[in-house]
Amino acid sequence: MNENPLHSTPSTEPSDLAKRIRNFLIIIAAIILSLSVFLAIRSEATSTSLPQLVEESIPLDIALNNGKPTLMEFYANWCTSCQTMAPELSEIKHKYSEKLNFVMLNVDNSKWLPELLKYRVDGIPHFVYLNQKAETIAQTIGEIPRPILEANLESLIAENPLPYTQAIGQVSAFNSPLNIDQPSSSDPRSHGAQVQ
């Protein structure tokens, strides 16, 4: 039989190089997909949302009467600083949950208006540290770095002065339902109109 390589019939099977390239691309796609699924599951498992943190918090009336020190946070669901701190605050909460109450009060809920006024909340997150007798020890405002927050909590639990009472981090503006700082012109304490 006389075979002429120039007149051979085209093969219906892909060449070895094409098969290798296809297999390589399938392997790469499988690795990328597996890695994506792994990272998605991991971030879902380690990330705590603000609503989850609120759900796990202790009601204020219980915290004020159970003899434990308390960290009270004024927050809002729309507050990006509050959302940013939620995962770390959840870890801190789990670490100290046996020794400390964690209370979350939503500034958008009019139920907490007396507390908003009492603690003069005008930026969030706003943290209030209460001792075992539910007395206010200190307040901090804004995104507080974890080491500073933990140092304050350790001192609160040990009944020592808090080392970082002037901590002010990134805050979300919050317009209080009552304008606390500016007296109205009809307020008898305003001492009349401003001299111009």
Catalytic residues: 79, 82
Angle between helices 146-157 and 80-96 (to 10 degrees): 40
Asked if residue 138 lies in contact with residue 149, where contact means CB atoms within 8 angstroms, the answer is: no
| SS3 assignment for the chain | CCCCHHHCCCCCCCCHHHHHHHHHHHHHHHHHHHHHHHHHHHHHHHCCCHHHHHHHCCCHHHHCCCCCCEEEEEECCCCHHHHHHHHHHHHHHHHHCCCCEEEEEECCCHHHHHHHHHCCCCEECEEEEECCCCCEEEEEECCCCHHHHHHHHHHHHCCCCCCCCCCECCCEECCCCCCCCCCCCCCHHHCCCCCC
